[in-house]
Structure 1
Amino acid sequence: MNRKLTATRKSQVKMDSHAVRFFTETIDAGRISPLAFFEAGESCYQDKRFYWQNADKTMTLVGIGHATVLTSDSVEERFQHISTAWNRLRAALIKEEKDMEPVLFGGFSYDPKSIKEAEWDAFPSAYFVVPSFQLTIKNGKTTISINLVTESDEAAEEFNRLRDERDRLIHIAQVEDFNLLAKPVVVSIEEIAKDNYMQAVADVTDKINEGIAEKVVIARSVQLNFAEEVPAVTALHHISNEQQESYHFGLQKDGQLFFGATPERLIEISNGRAYSACVAGSIKRGKSAVEDRQFGEELLEDHKNREEHQYVVNMISQVFQAFCTNIAMPKAPKLMKIRDIQHLFTPIEGTVEQGTDIFNLVQALHPTPALGGVPTNVSMEMIRSVENMDRGYYAAPIGWTDTAGNGEFAVAIRSALLDGNHAYLYAGGGIVADSEADKEYDETWVKFRPVMRALGGKLNG
């Protein structure tokens, strides 16, 4: 698998020895399980891995190691900070036509102005990485790339060392036994500040009825405690296996794993075309096909849920009108059915205007009314006032972009922060004028269920 730097790369190594250069090289990898490759990095890169698979299974990414890390602690300019830093790196890229585009993967916090809880201390308001080793499965083809960001005079030697390490990781993933572990043993489930949540829903409902806001999303959390430490690959395996229709993601940092299986795409850009999804309004799945259809019809006709959904449609369509042309969107929502819940769903797409990148759209879209409220500024202030919780990266944008400008971000719901033998799970719902605290509380349990089940917890079986 080893080969020398090409003539193009050799010449660049000798030029501008103190300038940042961004090298990449891609090889075909045959058939490799993405989770086996993820696990191959366990011993040396335990805190430097990520995992991504889109909902239709046409794109899987695994990152091991850090070629570089981009972060921001800014409240107002974090999206621009990451965009600017990434554009500088893109300009320094040296690749051949056959090489895959390097990716930048990471996420943003939900609200940099919120209170900061201890479990989220390691995560800044923006955290992104370019992996040293990038597995890509796209439309059934598996490749592995080396990415090197360097100012060193010895780039050729660095690259050769990375080739040796790449081959070692591939060998581990292909040859060594990959034992899928059983689900964790949950010893206790703790509801965190339940009384505060119930009071927050009641208070917000009153304020909405007073005309202060139209909708506000209130979230809460629960803590799972396990008999022993839970490996990251175990969590990713079970959430991916049980939530087939969702986006799967995992991001490691400082001994923690933020992971989940979200049904909600925030934005995708592919060859200059942008795609988003308006997802809001929900109801449980039925125990039979007949009951399931009845629930779906009830959801489609329910005034509260249709109103909640329309807030999201209005906001996302306005963003597309600002950044896109040739917009297409159906007039009425349809149903998105996933394992534990069904949602109202309206897709939208448009052609991205020149000069717009994916971070422009992420900034404009976050938070959607599905995770924040209406009006946005008022709802965010109310959330800060009454929720009394740091959402961290829950309900925030997580995803990737590449050096060609393509990329996809999802909304990180149905998610958890795994920390050794503990996990913090998050769920919320949209509060409107006729919301009832007890029903909203029950709905959060439905939304906890996917991650709860993947981690060995049980709710009514």
Structure 2
Amino acid sequence: MDQKWLPTTDAEVGSKSARLHFYIETIEVSRLSALAFYAAGEGQFKGKRFFWQNREKTFTLVGLGQAYVIENNENENRFDHIEKEWLALTKNIVKEDTESQPILFGGFTFDPQNKERSEWDGFPQCYFTVATYQLVIQNEKAYVSIHLITDQTDSSQQFDQLRKERDRLIHAAQVKELKTYGKPVMLSYEERNKDAYLQSVESVANLIQNKQADKVVIARSLSLEFEGTVTSPQVLSHVINEQPESYLFGIERDDLLFFGASPERLVKVMNGHAYSSCVAGSVKRGKTAEEDQMLGQELLNDSKNLGEHDYVVKMIAETFAKNCTHFKVPKKPRLLKIRDIQHLYTPVEGTLLPNATILQLVKDLHPTPALGGVPRKEALSIIRREESMNRGLYAAPLGWIDAEGNGEFAVAIRSASLVENQAILYAGGGIVAESEAMSEYEETLVKFRPMLRALGGQLHE
């Protein structure tokens, strides 16, 4: 059983939330595979699932079904609208004090003003859900919660049905042998708008040389076609196995799955403390430990990459100064090494002001100079003119928030979308005055690799 509530205006939010009851029941279960629980929903909940695992592998989240959906097309007000509706909804929670917090999971598209026709047609500017069945694995323990959001005062019959379905899902995840998924079989690939991308890099570099911006991130996409339909559990299984150092995520909406393995935290809030990561400037991994160390050292001393990184550090520091009583930023970046690439990395942390929230931080931080550019307004204007694609959720904030305001958002890079037997992969890089088109093109090839490998594809570089 699965139902969905979807208010569309602020007036509806207030009136509807006042009538709704938010019931929760949580049980602890023997440790089970998060992917197996996700896959158990393939029949009944396909198109209404999500998966999340943090970079440290200390928190895993799976959602099946939709107890409540919050989505809107409110442009600059979209962050505030989500926050307002979530606050209104969570005032009506009926649960035991010891039970897990309900979690709202979803993301904001990169640019609500982008009107390019694409695989993102019909996708709202933000999309968040409360799962009907929520699995949380934390501190070596697993908890499954039922969420029922209803305007009925007597929910006992509905809850009985939900318990039966919960038990079926847990049984399927625990008892059925964990499936081993083969790689999809790629039939063809297309570098979409490759020539236009190369021309845009040259054009943007010229604009920057003429002082119209300091830095602009330009992205491109790659389409793959497969033999037969590719499933969400199939691709997520390979991403989970191959990218353990990253944030792992997947979110379905109807026929579209958006998934990835991002190295980059946008912001985390836990008990009044905020954490962010400045990740900008990159180089490939070496074939040997010696070459890897040499490339990393060159990156730490490279003026172009250090300049790109400094833009991000300054902007995130300014946001923390606005939202925190105090914060700290290391003076020099260090290296963040993941399977295919190494980045310049500077962590930032601070203590939040009493009225500051995670969604305010997301609003202030997005897009960082690592994904948009500097200055932000001018960079976004140039991206709209020069980038011949719709990013959708790519390079945008994706993550979760609980009823107490804790949560975490990653920047959804190293990502792809999947619809039936076609996948679209996304990658980009920061353009500055000295950027060269072929060098930037080659950098995107490195950034395509994580999702390309998970999908069984290969580029003829």
TM-score (norm 1): 0.95
Alpha-carbon contact 1:268-1:409 (below 8 Å) kept: yes
Matches within 5 A, 1:226-305: 226-305=226-305
Match of 1:222? 222
Unaligned residue ranges in structure 1 (runs of 5+) = 1-15
How far, CA to CA, are the matches of 1:61 and 1:307 in structure 2? 36
Match of 2:46? 46
Matches within 5 A, 1:145-224: 145-224=145-224
Letter in 2 for 1:272: G
Measure how far apart 1:97 and its partner are.
Answer: 1.3
Q: How has the CA–CA distance of structure 1 residues 289 and 418 changed in structure 2, closer, same or farther, with 3 Å as cutoff? A: same
Match of 2:11? none
Kindly tell me the number of residue pairs found equivalent between the two proteins: 446
How far, CA to CA, are the matches of 1:18 and 1:74 in structure 2? 22
User: What whole-Å deviation, never above 9, does each CA across 1:105-133 have from its counterpart, x for those lacking one?
Assistant: 00010001012323102420000000010
Alpha-carbon contact 1:17-1:152 (below 8 Å) kept: no
Match of 2:320? 320
User: What whole-Å deviation, never above 9, does each CA across 1:77-114 have from its counterpart, x for those lacking one?
Assistant: 10011000000011111111110000000001000101
How far, CA to CA, are the matches of 1:53 and 1:172 in structure 2? 21
Letter in 1 for 2:236: L
How far, CA to CA, are the matches of 1:417 and 1:355 in structure 2? 36
Tell me which moved more, 264-273 or 170-179.
Answer: 170-179
Match of 1:355? 355
Match of 2:12? none
User: What whole-Å deviation, never above 9, does each CA across 1:290-349 have from its counterpart, x for those lacking one?
Assistant: 000000000000000000000000000000000012212211000000000000000000
Match of 1:55? 55
How far, CA to CA, are the matches of 1:301 and 1:118 in structure 2? 39
Q: Secondary structure at the match of 1:112?
A: coil
Alpha-carbon contact 1:260-1:416 (below 8 Å) kept: yes
Match of 1:78? 78
Measure how far apart 1:46 and its partner are.
Answer: 0.5
Measure how far apart 1:458 and its partner are.
Answer: 1.8
User: What whole-Å deviation, never above 9, does each CA across 1:12-46 have from its counterpart, x for those lacking one?
Assistant: xxxx9982111111110111100000001111001
How far, CA to CA, are the matches of 2:289 and 2:114 in structure 1? 42
Identity %: 54
How far, CA to CA, are the matches of 1:140 and 1:266 in structure 2? 26
Letter in 2 for 1:35: L
Alpha-carbon contact 2:31-2:140 (below 8 Å) kept: no
Letter in 2 for 1:442: E
Unaligned residue ranges in structure 2 (runs of 5+) = 1-15
User: What whole-Å deviation, never above 9, does each CA across 1:169-209 have from its counterpart, x for those lacking one?
Assistant: 10111112332210000111101000110010000000100
Q: How has the CA–CA distance of structure 1 residues 426 and 23 changed in structure 2, closer, same or farther, with 3 Å as cutoff? A: same
Match of 1:126? 126
How far, CA to CA, are the matches of 1:95 and 1:377 in structure 2? 44
Measure how far apart 1:164 and its partner are.
Answer: 1.2
Alpha-carbon contact 1:18-1:152 (below 8 Å) kept: no
How far, CA to CA, are the matches of 1:344 and 1:371 in structure 2? 14
How far, CA to CA, are the matches of 1:154 and 1:191 in structure 2? 55
